[in-house]
Structures are given as structure tokens and as C-alpha cells.
């Protein structure tokens, strides 16, 4: 099996498991949390190695400047090609964090 296809299949299986876990946790969080507001931003991470590493780059970078990160969702994946060869994997990630406003 081609490595890129294998990565896509692995990603799909991982994403399905993460979404199932995310929604089950969301139900618990909603029961336990007071009213809150969350901001969602979109980031694009890149990696020469894989989509997973590209997504991790985006989340790691967000964690350097944002507090209270809650959920990260990979919403799109693509590749940068050069002369028919994969040069980079890119992952568009939505990241949510608790919005801190004036009380």
C-alpha cells in the first residue's frame, strides 16, 4: 500500500476515534461547566513527514501563545507538490480556547 494512502487511512481511523471521544467528553463538560465562551481560530501546520506532525506543529505553536486550549479539530489536509513529489504535508486545524473578557 502506498505510504500516502496508508497515512490517510490511519488519519481517518484516528479522527473517528478522536471525534467519538471528543463528543462523549463534550457532553460531560457541558454538564459540569458554568456558562463559558470559547474562541475558535484556524491554523495551518506543515511538516515534511506527515499530516499528524503537521497538526501537532499547529497545536504546539498555538499553545505557546494561548492559554486554556480546549479542542483541536483537523478540518482539512493537503500536500505541497513539486515536480510530482510530496514536499510537505499541511493540516488545517481549528483550535478552541476559553475566551477571557472583562467581568
Alpha-carbon gap, residue 11 to 74, rounded angstroms: 10
- CB distance 90 to 45 below 8 Å: yes
Stated pTM of the model = 0.64
Name the most confidently modeled range: 10-14, 66-70, 78-82, 98-102. 78-82
pLDDT attached to residue 74: 97
Reply yes or no on domain 3-98 having CATH 2.60.40.1180.
Answer: no
Share of the chain above pLDDT 70, in %: 65
- The pLDDT, as a whole number, for residue 37 is 86
pLDDT tens-place string over residues 22-34:
555 555 555 565 6
Yes or no: say if 99 and 38 are a contact pair by the CB < 8 Å rule: yes
Amino acid at each position: 500500500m502506498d505510504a500516502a494512502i496508508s497515512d490517510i487511512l490511519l488519519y481517518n481511523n484516528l479522527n473517528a476515534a478522536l471525534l467519538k471521544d471528543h463528543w462523549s467528553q463534550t457532553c460531560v463538560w457541558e454538564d459540569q461547566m458554568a456558562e463559558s465562551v470559547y474562541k475558535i481560530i484556524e491554523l495551518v501546520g506543515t511538516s515534511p513527514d506527515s499530516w499528524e506532525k503537521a497538526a501537532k506543529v499547529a497545536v504546539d505553536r498555538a499553545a505557546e501563545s494561548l492559554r486554556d486550549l480546549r479542542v483541536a479539530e483537523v478540518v482539512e489536509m493537503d500536500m505541497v507538490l513539486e515536480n510530482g513529489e510530496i514536499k510537505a504535508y499541511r493540516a488545517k486545524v481549528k483550535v478552541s480556547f476559553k475566551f477571557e473578557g472583562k467581568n
